[in-house]
Structure 1
Amino acid sequence: MIEFAARFLGIKLRPWQRWLLIHALELLEDGRYRYRKVVIIVGRQNGKTKLIEVLALWWLFVDSESFPEHIPADEFLVLGTAQDKDTAKKVWKKVLRRCNPNVQKWPNRFSPAARAAIVPALVGEAMPPSESNGSEAIILKNGAQYQIAASTSGGGRGDSISRAVLDELREQKNWEGWAALSKTLNGTYNSQMWAISSAGDARSVVLKDIRDSALEALKDWQAYVDAGITSIEEYANTHDVSIGVFEWSAPEDCKLDDPDAYLQSNPSIGYGYEVDALLSDLESGEPEHVTRTEVLGIWVTATFDPSLNVEVWPELADPPETDAEGAIVYNGSEISSTSPVILGVDTSTDRKRTWIGVAGWRDDGLQHLEVIDVVGRMTAVAGRVKAIADEWDIQFVALQARGCNASELKEPLEKLGLIVIEVSGPALGAGTGKMHDRVEDRRMRHRSQEALDQAVKHAATKKLNDVRVWDRESSPVDIAPLIAVSNAAYGLEAMPDAQESAYEDHGLLVA
């Protein structure tokens, strides 16, 4: 790739870019990439966009024909994504200007800069591009394509993607974009995904969790490999080493005016700009947390402390189990057939998703909490809740009746004949506190659902009078899945008749 950049694109990559490519593109003995996923964390203005441009061109014009016996070129798809489509399109346009045959066909329609960027050898391999909004695609004569999408839209979800780039991973506030993109690569031979970003904060949940997992793996590496207990090969055979994390960052306790810190986190210093240029930003009044994350690569995470016990939560998981063929051999946690069942509802702060949760008693007397659906349009929520209630013969729905987006669902749900249990006033604190106690006392079970797990891991609370309540605004992720099941659990316990019946059915004393 380094040779390709120099010979065809006239780009002499910087030392850090060359070093990264040499290691991130390491091969296994059979020629496949060592890493299926590559995560790069480096300060802004260090040449990330240029690196992605070269990477996409290499994948498209060279790598698309690497394994024709496993994936023919006409099935080779490169997908560029970011938090929004406009960001993804910036790189796509840079790639297009290198190989757009329309520039040579109608040169007067393009600027001198556009004509100068054209690479004749690449133009000869390309078809006229599709540039209409929503169907942008660079298409080669061998059938390989480079498309773009917003990661939040689930772009490429239905396609088998060979290579993918996710720009500015720090902007991913939940796992939906990463999950949708990464799963499309799972069924493709020798697929590879790159995610590149500057450092983030507590809201950058995807980047933070991947980085934390890498740091945790390093502990094992140091304990076993460095100590000589096991070899590198043995370690690789018993651990997941398919994700490579490459980070340039300054020490966490560095001073903002320390030149060495900027050299450590900005490997392009000396290639276009100097330390003085970065230090001058301090004098312009740039906030310290911006400098630390985006320039020095230091994570600002101390401002957030999860409200629930995130160490106990995984112990309460009781998910379904499958055999090697994918057949379910154990259903996981379930509500008893004799238990009352309560629905819980809550809506995200941006109104884009309303989550429906359920609570009931298990045969062993513990509570079962589960997310059972998510609805995109607010106007469709009441009808969906009613459909679930009719299917499961449920009468009660618990939700916060004032001060949140979900409160507007109370009236339409009641008009549909459902009984709404209001989680408002003192009940807000009780619902939050009881959820804390259920986890701490291990009095519930869940099915280890990603949306709920992430909400639990990042849920914040705030003080309201003398109690603490869920804080949607301060939580770095959408905690509506957690609030939905918390409301359902509160509703289950707030019904004396239902509670007494459930306890008697399971032979327990009524508290």
Structure 2
Amino acid sequence: MSVLAPAPPERPAWMPARFSPPLVAGFPSHGDWLLRLVDLVWRLPDGSPIDLDPWQRWLIRAALEVYPDGHPRAGELRYRQVLISVSRQNGKSVLGAIFGLYGLVREAGALVIGIASSAEQARIIYARLLSVIRGNRQLAARFKRLTDTRGIQSVDGGRYEIKPSKSAAVQGLDLTVGLADELHLTKRELWSDMVNGTAARRNGIVIGLTTAGDETSELLIDLYGIADDPPERFGFFIWEAPEARVPADDETLGRYLVAASPGLACGRLDLETAISDVRGMAEADVIRYRLNRFTSSTNAFITATLWASRRRRTGEFPAGRAIFAIDRTPDWGFASIVATVKAGELTAAELVASIAKPTLSQLVNVCVDLARHQPLTFAMDGYALKDLGAELKKRGLPVWIATQGDVMGASALLYAKLAAGQLEHDGAELLNLQAPRTVRKNVGDGFRISRKDSSIEIDGIMALALGVLAAETRTDDTLQVF
């Protein structure tokens, strides 16, 4: 597979909306020999050679552009910092692994450092590269240490290590290549320390890969600001939709998706499928992850229109062992209990109790009374109602205590089932009041329902979310209750 030539004047559809132009036409690049190496050694899990998209080949060359002959820095990398921002599902981890390979084989004694918001995220790029090295006998012969977690070391002293997302972890290191995944979650000082770490290397470079962020993504905001008026040695390649909105018509939405996703523009990803997928996603997630535009860290969770459209119009609550999910407000002013039952793909939900100024003993008594319906379990947030769970367990009742991770999962599942038409509710006045006023807050690459940011108490919606998650994972239709 030949190396892609520089982008022609007509500008292919896969070109980024904003990018650093090369210094000269037909610019020289370290990407030329790197791509030849990738073509020789890179194999997919099934053993077939990797088939990089045209945009990926162009990007690798552009990011590793070198100064041309005649320049005072001839042969030296042009960029010291590179920002790559593109929507999800476009192979950022593959690109990161290729840049990692570049750092390891470029020179003796190289040091490549990979960071991300979590060790698990940083290992995605690391593991891809490790698999490629192990899968090629000739390439593997250049390395004397290949471990799953404790680094890759070449025979000439080069190393690739994963570091925690803390500034102190990279301070004082003499870096050849710094790889930062998901910059929207990376701290300013960590990026600065990596850049400073390359200062002693003539060809040191720090490369960041990301999707768009929100107002809390301070580093990414800074780097976008630099891209507005970049110095010569700052490279940026940003794929994004023309606007931060989700068009109502599919034709315009398709254009917006293609602008943010070079994989769609190249035809590797299917546009019709992408449009169908995003129509079932929350607007904030579409804007941020598929259109690659910044959003607010807090957004409305459920629109009034979507909530109203999922009210059960006919029929009774389905038969089956119910989940009773309980939640209370932080000040113990109110508590709500929601019953959920999953029947096939559909989950049904009803508000069964709303209690003002409850006490622990009162909640215990209500749950004991509900136990006559032989529920599958009582679900509750371990932070808010740990004592209630303990009391119910003493009475021999089934209890599921949700963690903070469960609350995040419940939030996402509740929205997904509403969007897909797989959840029906009884239209209880309390839930009708709370649903459109509930706010979601970004947490890393996910989100959770936020009590603090919502304009009213949301105990009913919190109970509903936990009930939906519990019903999804613990459904048992063997007994009929209602």
TM-score by length of 1: 0.47
